[in-house]
Structure 1
Amino acid sequence: MNSDSPIRSSELVQTDPALGILRLAALSAGPGGRLDDDTLDLMYEQVEAGVLETVAPAAIWPELERGLMSQAPSHMLRALSECGALRVILPEVAAVFGVPQISDDPSQVDIGLHLLRVLDEAAACHAPLPVRYAALVMHVGKADSPKEHLPVHYRHVERGHPRILDLSQRFGVSDDCRELALLALAELERVHRVTPMRAGPIAAMLERVDAFQRPQRFQQLLTLCACDYRAYGNRNFPEYPKAALLQAALEACSGIDATVAGDALQEGRAQAIAAALRSERWSVWAE
């Protein structure tokens, strides 16, 4: 570890090898916490010796949370990967490294490397834990997409849903973390595709993600989408345009009487959004 770190890495690992590995990886996400080769080699030897095989998930999660909430969460993930611990404690996440995904510039990205950038974007904007947890796990359904379809990931939502549930239960994460991760799995790509010319689908999306009743979670979803957007190489902009669009749409609906039932409520919201965004207001149920 860097010389400015107060942690004596070899001593910590020897004292409690399993928790020491996790603590060192978590601390590496903090200031001056990069691990040196000797420390990583020692951690690798401990992992190969099987010290992580029996550690309880309840003991793992506090260290993962510590690293996720630090200033450079990617350092923790890299350390865990380099010493072999990631495939033991988070095999679903380890499996997405090396898997390609469509991008625009370049045309493909490694999902694992991309999620590292998303996590660091989340840290840079001081995002809360649910956003960072969702960034960590939202791609787990893409690890085993059929090779003939790559870099496209058909039906990854169906594969990812039970895996996120299992991860969340295994580590005992909060309901807020689990719910945002599942929401991001289903909606992140839809948020990226939203357009002001289709007011009806925007109204349907706001209803589907419960933006009216749970505005804080909706804001967390937009924060995550913004981090994902900026994590691509050619998008280092402070503002995410789709977040501003959806926020304007939500505000446009604030004057609509929510006691109106069914289709009439959706139609009223679509009309309000269309007026605010100067868009078309039909195709309410289109995707």
Structure 2
Amino acid sequence: MKIYLVGGAIRDDLLNIKVTDKDWVVVGSNINLMLKLGFKLVGKDFPVFLHPKTHEEYALARTEYKFGHGYKGFKYCASSKVTLKEDLLRRDLTINAIAKDELGNFYDPYNGLQDIKNRLLKHVSSSFQDDPLRVLRVARFAAKLKYLNFRIDDNTLKLMKIMSHSGELSYLKPERIWKETYNALQSTHPQVFFKVLKKCNALSIIFPEINALYGIPAPLKWHPEIDTGIHTMLTLKIISKLTNNVSTRFATLCHDIGKGLTPKKLWPRHPGHGEAGIPLIKKLCDRLKIPSNFKKISILAARIHDIIHNIYNQKPEDILNIYNIIDAWRKPERVQQMAFISEADARGRLTLESIEYKQGKYFINMYKYISKLNIKNILNNNNLKGYNINKKIQSERIKLIKYFLKMEN
């Protein structure tokens, strides 16, 4: 029996990326022997064990072949006769098909070490196309490793296009799609994930609401890039520099989604696109089983991002209404989220990436000023009940907004 470190831990260590998880492959063993050694069997589809002390995952070397659709359409063989080379052959990318023994010696039958040096995302074998999830995985790796100048091999991209046209992507479970998307949104270049999906024709299948934005024009005066799909990717690029919060990044992705529904006769204008996008956001989030807080923030962003652009010309009552809509009094973090999303929208335009977005800071500072209102004093010093309590609070907040506006002007 021989044990090797495999996959992402080796890749990340070679790239000076912090290693968070280690996966091991066991060659020349079987289930009974692993159990006798104290390992705990946890794999449902194939033999995976937890180490009795480190609790790291150890999998028996295995081969696999496809017999049906989707992730479940595989048969596995985890015989003690399966070699390390055979196990590595079934993996997705060469940079993930490297093993290392206990002495630190590399086993690299598919030239993954060279591809790491060449910054290349390349499939191990033609069996790559058997698992549709790999289209999303490669797109996610492209986003994760963009800062190191990794690119996708041309032949791998061709396979991804073939997979997109095969119909296999429709068999992916929503949870698996969202997991890859969530991880991509955490990366330094989340827009690359969606760009790759667009390039291999998978975006129209996985995210049709986002794909529909490509080719939709916007006014040249405000959008030098013209195309709403391009604008959406630019906003995602900007928001990733402003915040690491994944729900904020996702909301930015969805902020203009309603423009895909604008009748052509109204182009390049998109009146009411914020409200129009709300049903699409709900549909997208429900389909992929995206967490409710992501859906809520995305709906709020679609509804109010344009209003913040024009914050200097808003009436005090309308400004207060924005804070009320986002429930800023109970969830103050949303004020900064909305400011960041609006800033990303304003700067996510060709030639405008470096502009100073003063409206966002203005929106945040005004909220901080209004938040000084002492609600307890209002309740203690006024004989108010029910509706009149809220009316008084709103009245006092409007007064503070007016004071703030005077100070700023």
TM-score between both structures, scaled by the size of structure 1: 0.88
Aligned to 1:255: 372
The residue identity in structure 2 corresponding to 1:65 is Y
**Distance apart, 1:102 and its partner CA:** 3.0
CA separation in 2, counterparts of 1:217 and 1:197? 19
Aligned to 2:395: 267
Q: Which moved more, 1:187-196 or 1:28-37?
A: 28-37
The residue identity in structure 1 corresponding to 2:321 is A
C-alpha distance 54-132 of structure 1, shift in aligned 2 (>3 A): same
Contact 1:93–1:140 (Cα < 8 Å) also in 2: yes
Aligned to 1:283: none
CA separation in 2, counterparts of 1:28 and 1:12? 20
Q: Which has the higher strand share?
A: 2
Alignment partner of 1:120 out of 237, 241, 262: 237
**Distance apart, 1:219 and its partner CA:** 1.5
Summarize the alignment of residues 1-287 of structure 1 with structure 2, pairs less than 5 Å apart. 4-5=118-119, 7-11=121-125, 14=128, 16-31=130-145, 32-102=149-219, 104-106=221-223, 109-195=226-312, 198-237=315-354, 239-258=356-375, 261-278=389-406
Q: Whose radius of gyration is greater, 1 or 2? A: 2
CA separation in 2, counterparts of 1:178 and 1:33? 32
CA separation in 2, counterparts of 1:38 and 1:131? 35
CA separation in 1, counterparts of 2:276 and 2:364? 30
Contact 1:14–1:20 (Cα < 8 Å) also in 2: yes
CA separation in 2, counterparts of 1:2 and 1:139? 37
C-alpha distance 196-267 of structure 1, shift in aligned 2 (>3 A): farther
C-alpha distance 17-101 of structure 1, shift in aligned 2 (>3 A): same
C-alpha distance 225-105 of structure 1, shift in aligned 2 (>3 A): closer
Q: Which has the higher helix share?
A: 1
CA separation in 1, counterparts of 2:120 and 2:153? 14
SS in 1 for 2:218: strand
How many residues were matched structurally?
Answer: 281
Per-residue deviation, residues 166-219 of structure 1 (Å, max 9, x unmatched): 211222222221111000011111111111673332222222221121111221
C-alpha distance 232-41 of structure 1, shift in aligned 2 (>3 A): same
Per-residue deviation, residues 22-73 of structure 1 (Å, max 9, x unmatched): 1001111122333232221111012112221211111111111122221112
Contact 2:121–2:150 (Cα < 8 Å) also in 1: no
Contact 1:29–1:70 (Cα < 8 Å) also in 2: yes
C-alpha distance 157-123 of structure 1, shift in aligned 2 (>3 A): closer
Contact 1:138–1:164 (Cα < 8 Å) also in 2: no
Aligned to 1:284: none
Aligned to 2:20: none
Contact 2:213–2:228 (Cα < 8 Å) also in 1: yes
Unaligned runs of 5+ in 1: 281-287
Per-residue deviation, residues 218-253 of structure 1 (Å, max 9, x unmatched): 211211111112212343347421111112211221
The residue identity in structure 2 corresponding to 1:273 is I
Q: Which moved more, 1:258-267 or 1:42-51?
A: 258-267
Bigger relative contact order, structure 1 or 2, given CA contacts below 8 A and separation 6+? 1
**Distance apart, 1:4 and its partner CA:** 4.0
Contact 1:2–1:36 (Cα < 8 Å) also in 2: no
Contact 1:122–1:227 (Cα < 8 Å) also in 2: yes
Contact 2:120–2:151 (Cα < 8 Å) also in 1: no
CA separation in 1, counterparts of 2:338 and 2:320? 16
Contact 2:190–2:237 (Cα < 8 Å) also in 1: yes
The residue identity in structure 1 corresponding to 2:164 is V
Unaligned runs of 5+ in 2: 1-114, 379-388
Q: Which moved more, 1:173-182 or 1:15-24?
A: 15-24
The residue identity in structure 1 corresponding to 2:251 is A
Contact 1:10–1:42 (Cα < 8 Å) also in 2: no
TM-score between both structures, scaled by the size of structure 2: 0.63
The residue identity in structure 1 corresponding to 2:200 is C
SS in 2 for 1:200: helix
SS in 1 for 2:393: helix
Per-residue deviation, residues 232-279 of structure 1 (Å, max 9, x unmatched): 234334742111111221122123243652443223212212212217
The residue identity in structure 1 corresponding to 2:141 is L
RMSD (Å) for aligned C-alpha atoms = 2.6
The residue identity in structure 1 corresponding to 2:396 is G
CA separation in 2, counterparts of 1:49 and 1:127? 35
Contact 1:105–1:234 (Cα < 8 Å) also in 2: no
Per-residue deviation, residues 57-90 of structure 1 (Å, max 9, x unmatched): 1111111112222111221111111111000111
Q: Which moved more, 1:265-274 or 1:232-241?
A: 232-241
